[in-house]
Structure 1
Amino acid sequence: MSKHTAIIRWKNNGPDFLKRQYSREHTLHFDGGAVVPGSPSPQIVPAPWSNAASVDPEEAFVAAVSSCHMLWFLHVACDAGFIAESYDDEAEGVMTKNERGALWISRITLQPHIVWGGAKQPAAAEVEHLHHLAHQQCFIANSIKTEINVQPRD
C-alpha cells in the first residue's frame, strides 16, 4: 500500500467574502516539491475571482488520467519489446449532468500519438491491445466511474 499527499493552500484576500467577492486562486503543493497555481475554471467562476493561467481541478483530473494511462502504456509497450520514442496526448474531459442534475466529468477521451523507434514496430491491433492493458492497470482509471475512451492519433 502506498500513500499520496497534496497540500492545498488558500488565503482570503477579499474584498467581501460573504458577497462571494474573493479570489479562488490557491496553490497545490506536492510531496516532491512541485508547487502548482490552482484556480477554478473561468467557465465556472468568472474573473477576477479565477485565473485562467492556473490549473483548475477539472484539468488536473483529466491530466491525472492521461498521465497514468501513459505511464502504464510505456510499461506494457516495454514489456512487449516495443520502443516508444515519444508520446503526446491531447486529452479532453467532458462535463455533463448526472441523474441528480449535478455536473461531473462523465467522459475523458485520450488521443495519444506515439512515435515508435527500433526495428520492431507494433501493428495497429497490437497498439490497441497495449492501450487496453494500460487502461486495465491504470490506478486512476480503476478509481473512477468516468468513461475513458482511447482514440490514438496517427
Structure 2
Amino acid sequence: MSTHSATILWTRGEATFSDGHYARTHEARFDGGVSLAVTTALPLPSNTIPAADPEEMVVTATASCHMMFFLAFAKQAGFIVDRYEDTPVGTLGKDDKGVERLIDIALSPKISWGGDDIPGAADVDLLHHKAHKACYIGNSLRCPVRIEP
C-alpha cells in the first residue's frame, strides 16, 4: 500500500466573495516542489489565468497511468518505444441517475517503435489490454476508459 498527497491552496484576495465574483484559480502543490495552476472549466472571469481544470487532470492522470504501464509491458515484451503521444478526451454528462460526472474517457495513443522487433497489431492490442487492466487510475473510475489507437 502507498499513500499520495498534495496541497490545494486558494485565497480570496480582494474579491467580495458573497456576490459570487471570486477567482476560481488556485494552486496544487505536489512533492518534489512541483506546483500547478488549477481552475474551473468555466470561462473568464471565473478562471483568471491559464490553468488546468480538475476534469482535465483526471483525464490526464488516466492517460499517464495507462502510458506508464504500457511502456513497462512493452519493455518486458522486448519492444522499444521511441515515442508515445496521447490526446485523451473525457466527456462530462449525466449518468442514469441524472448526476453530472465523467461518463467516458477515450485514450488515443500514437506510438513510434524503434529497434528490430516491431510489434504487430495483436501485440499492441495485448499491451494496451494489459496496461488497461493494471492502471490504478482507470481502475478507480466509474466511467469506461476506451482505447482508440
Alpha-carbon separation, structure 1, partners of 2:17 and 2:97 = 29
Q: Which amino acid aligns with 1:85?
A: D
Unpaired runs of at least 5, structure 2: none
* Structure 2 residue matching 1:19: 3-state secondary structure: coil
Specify which structure has the higher proportion of strand.
Answer: 1
Q: Which amino acid aligns with 1:130?
A: L
| Alignment TM-score, normalising by the size of structure 1 | 0.93
Aligned partners of 2:92 and 2:104 also within 8 Å: yes
Moved over 6 A (4+): none
Does the alignment pair 1:73 with 2:70?
yes
Aligned partners of 1:23 and 1:48 also within 8 Å: yes
Q: How does 1:15-54 map to 2 (within 5 A)?
A: 15-42=15-42, 46-51=43-48, 53-54=50-51
Over aligned residues, Cα RMSD in angstroms? Answer: 1.1
Residue 100 of structure 1: aligned partner: 97
1:85-107 superposed Cα distances (whole Å, 9 cap, x missing partner): 00000100011101232211110
Alpha-carbon separation, structure 2, partners of 1:148 and 1:66 = 9
Residue 149 of structure 1: aligned partner: 146
Residue 10 of structure 1: aligned partner: 10
Alignment size in residue pairs = 149
Q: Which amino acid aligns with 1:129?
A: L
Alpha-carbon shift at residue 52 of structure 1 (Å):
6.1
Unpaired runs of at least 5, structure 1: none
| Alignment TM-score, normalising by the size of structure 2 | 0.96
Alpha-carbon separation, structure 1, partners of 2:14 and 2:106 = 38
1:43-94 superposed Cα distances (whole Å, 9 cap, x missing partner): xxx3112146101000000000000000000000001000000000010001
Task: Evaluate the alpha carbon distance shift between residue 99 and residue 33 of structure 1 in structure 2; reply closer, same or farther with a 3 A threshold.
Answer: same
Does the alignment pair 1:117 with 2:118?
no
Aligned partners of 1:24 and 1:50 also within 8 Å: yes
